[in-house]
Amino acid sequence: MCLAVPGKILEIHQTDGVDMAQVDFEGVRREACLMYLPEAKVGDYVLVHVGFAMSLVSQEEALASLDLLRQVASAGAEDDTVAGDALS
């Protein structure tokens, strides 16, 4: 399964002639390649998969996706706790 995570572009720069972006993922900053999204600009939300910005998304869509990812992570943490309790 593949997963693309939404993030907000904070800055754009070039590395070896390739447009790159500093992207914020809820407080975690990572670099992403903009090769597939030359139209992206600072302030845009993008879906990033394995270091490549794959598509532009609206702020609303990005925030909804992040909320869903938080819910999945929370459910997984609860499952781990229940499984750990059952083994005790």
User: In the chain, how many domains are there?
Assistant: 1
* Residue-number span of the structural domain to which 72 is assigned: 5-87
Q: What is the pTM of this model?
A: 0.81
CATH of residue 33 = 2.30.30.140
N-term to C-term CA, the chain: 32
Position 86 scores a pLDDT of 46
What is the reported pLDDT for 80?
60
Q: Tell me what pLDDT residue 74 has.
A: 87
Spacing of C-alpha 86 from chain mean position: 34
Determine the Cα–Cα distance for residues 86 and 10; give it in Å rounded to an integer.
45
CA distance 58 to 74: 24
pLDDT of residue 25: 94
The mean pLDDT values, 10 residues at a time, for the chain of 88 residues are 91 97 96 97 97 97 93 78 49
pLDDT at position 75 is: 86
